[in-house]
Chain A
């Protein structure tokens, strides 16, 4: 056994499990997985102290591809499960992985309340503007004219702006990333984890199979021209007027995370009986 003093730094590789992803070749989520492991290594976390929590979707398969504790729950409820875990176990680093269907459609209500509650979580949404896992239906971020079997001719509905909604609902950290830049994305995820409170990282992660045109994103993304602000209204205006391709931290606030003082009370259950005693 090596002496603990000489312990080698933990590498990204140590966060990669031996389980082979089910994703299509070329799927953006492979890069996001590597950004997760790089971010954990950058912060020198230990696999046993990190929990990766998800719902259902291609993107939500990430937990088992890491060597961390994983929780692959039901569709749309990852934020609730993660909040329960973090509130009960504030010592853990809890990272949530989701997709645009999982997070913005079926899980939309939890998204609002997670931002508002501001539990110290990192919420990573792999947005590919489509339901990948169910083979190509429109999501809340799908363009109105995108044609599919379920929405012939397009939905005709305007898209939903998750970053602005996050700001309005009280998220403490808002960033946009691009899966095609795994190192930059790793840095953003690491910064999100290090920022107390609810941190939201929306990652443009192409679905090669159902949205092949998203290969173009590589040419379209650019670093945000200005550094982030701590003024939510200004951040919202910037996001609403950009073309959705500015990458980087867009807002960082100073709200105190919500965390009830679990473990503080030292009474025994039997001490509570006095209130019933006649």
Chain B
């Protein structure tokens, strides 16, 4: 029987769900590896219920033959290894009449919220099938089904399972490969999902499988970081868990502190000692750290604080994403305290942007906050390896025994040589008290103004180059955004372009200090500026309105987490506004 001609699509989206212990994340991670093995790109966003362990989980995935930066608007496939509490993911897993839904009829019918969206339901008795293949697991059947529906080659599944099940021994491996193959065969009989269009990219061997949190950790060490002190917090802990074994290999160390007050003060101390230092945290920890970040501003000690944003305020929604720490990052210190705020705008950019943040902090002897978020941090993606940006700073230091050394000397750039303990003849006291050029405490207005100017000037006059923002496209409509909304905004603009609506994208990598001249250039001729962000009050929008003269009319498009910003909602905004 000849098959009807296959439909194609640029990307395929698959969600695998199940209750705790069903192995959802394992199946998802392996599926990502299978796709990578086949030369595809893809990402897997993790979502889970509130339980510490054993709660319902969802692996939300999207695959394509070109790099994938965000989830799509809907899912082609939903696989429920079981359906226990899976209705809680209804908002996160939009389905429609062309979607396919696979579930185990022996356990329960699919949740009503999914059924009523009209998706095609194909029952598959996961448990029973796994029983018939002794030693196999239902999640390996799910892996096979997903791979089959996505149109991945069966050989790639075998290759990945042979590698990852090596430890379990020959029998386990054989049983589970058989389970995946059985799932794969089952997929043949299910109404087909469109096939991926496009060509495989060349050089696929060189690609990386990485999470945003690992990427941020790696970016930090690429930038020269050798010391980290930190206190665990969701969703930043994986940055630390990556750094803990990595730092000793390259001559560094990670210390678990007693709290964030300790961790931030420890890295101010270690960096004062000349060792580039980092900590990673989330909103609650960042709140505790603000006093000592101000100390680093005043005493001019470089430090990098990676904030993996989650839903706030307070404990908020710990395991889910939200871009709601813009305010605290750009404004959250007492006094007039200039600081650097950098935001990566893709998972791969978590490497480069964090490396850049270390470079900027070290070059300007200033704290730098890196605003990542849970969506980047805990998402695993197949990416092209981000090139080393080649920026590692040697701090500006005085010579040994420099005559009349002034730690906080007023210089043209605002940057003054920083003596490192051990250097003879240049001892000084690093102080959070306002001070004179020598570093001695002073409450005189002249010294205060000089040092305030110095600290503002060094950040303001620095040459940030082209890295301050990614600027793409043209047209009189501009979308200004940052961080994890970038992928969705880029995709929305591409869809608008396909409808004949031209627009440009300005994705800010440098949130603070602001770059008015560069922004004016990037937005020259724009008549409408749409500011896109994932929070409730429009924190970026308000900041932009305060810091920049935005041309034409401006609009804020925003919603809080935990739902990700999706291309379609931005596309709709662009379309409506362009027609009005």
Contacts and interface: CB of A to CB of B under 8 A. Distances in A.
Given A70-B428, A70-B429, A88-B269, A262 B251 contact: yes
Nearest to A54: B429
A94 B199 CA distance: 61
B250 A85 contact: no
A275 to B, nearest CB: 8
Interface in B1-45: 33, 36-37
A87 B253 contact: yes
Given A85-B270, A260-B255, A273-B385, A48 B422 contact: yes
B422 A89 contact: yes
B208 A87 contact: no
Contact of B255 (A77, A87, A269): A87
A13 to B, nearest CB: 15
Interface string B248-275: 1111111101110111111111111111
Contact of B249 (A63, A69, A112, A265): A265
Interface in A52-93: 53, 63-64, 67-74, 76-77, 80-85, 87-89, 91-92
Counting chain A CB atoms within 10 Å of each CB, the highest count among B227, B267, B273, B425 belongs to B273
B222 A269 contact: yes
Nearest to B425: A48
A233 interface: no
A124 B18 CA distance: 57
Chain A at the B interface: SS class? mixed
Report the contact-size class of chain B (Cβ under 8 Å from the partner).
Answer: 35 or more
A53 B263 CA distance: 16
A272 interface: yes
A68 B422 CA distance: 10
B431 interface: yes
Chain B at the A interface: SS class? mixed
A69 B425 CA distance: 10
B522 interface: no
Given A48-B424, A109-B259, A71 B252 contact: no
A248 B221 CA distance: 46
A72 B292 CA distance: 12
Contacts of A47: 424, 427
Given A51-B421, A71-B429, A89-B275, A81 B250 contact: no
B422 A84 contact: no
B269 A64 contact: no
B207 interface: yes
A74 to B, nearest CB: 5
Interface in A259-276: 260-273, 276
A217 to B, nearest CB: 29
Contacts of B246: 272
Contacts of B421: 48-49, 51, 69, 85, 89, 92
A73 B433 contact: no
Contact of B265 (A81, A262, A267): A81
Interface string B81-110: 000000000000000000000000000000
B235 to A, nearest CB: 19
Contact of A85 (B249, B264, B272): B272
A156 B37 CA distance: 71
A278 B209 contact: yes
A113 interface: yes
Interface string B414-438: 0000010111111111111100000
Contact of B270 (A46, A87, A266): A87
Nearest to A18: B440
Given A72-B429, A73-B432, A276-B214, A109 B258 contact: yes
Contacts of B275: 88-89, 262
B422 A91 contact: yes
A83 B430 contact: no
Nearest to A46: B424
Interface in A27-51: 46-49, 51
A85 B430 CA distance: 13
B427 A67 contact: yes
Contacts of B295: 73-74
Contact of B273 (A76, A92, A265, A273): A92
A84 B267 contact: yes
A277 interface: yes
B205 interface: yes
B489 to A, nearest CB: 26
A85 B420 CA distance: 11
Counting chain B CB atoms within 10 Å of each CB, the highest count among A76, A89, A261, A268 belongs to A89
B273 A85 contact: yes
A64 B299 CA distance: 14
Contacts of B268: 73, 81, 84
Interface string A234-278: 000000000000000000000000001111111111111100111
A71 B427 contact: no
A88 B277 contact: yes
Nearest to B295: A74
A81 B218 CA distance: 24
B265 A272 contact: no
A226 to B, nearest CB: 34
A80 B265 contact: yes
Nearest to B388: A270
Counting chain B CB atoms within 10 Å of each CB, the highest count among A81, A84, A266, A278 belongs to A84
Contacts of A77: 261-262, 265, 292
B440 A64 contact: yes
Nearest to B217: A272
B46 interface: no
Interface pairs A-B: 6 shortest CB-CB: A70-B429, A84-B266, A84-B269, A88-B270, A81-B269, A80-B265
Given A19-B440, A262-B226, A278-B37, 18 more contacts: A49-B422, A64-B441, A70-B429, A70-B430, A71-B272, A85-B273, A87-B227, A87-B253, A87-B266, A88-B226, A91-B422, A271-B249, A272-B221, A272-B249, A273-B385, A277-B206, A278-B33, A278-B382
9 contacts: A48-B422, A51-B421, A64-B431, A67-B427, A73-B269, A80-B263, A84-B227, A113-B258, A267-B249
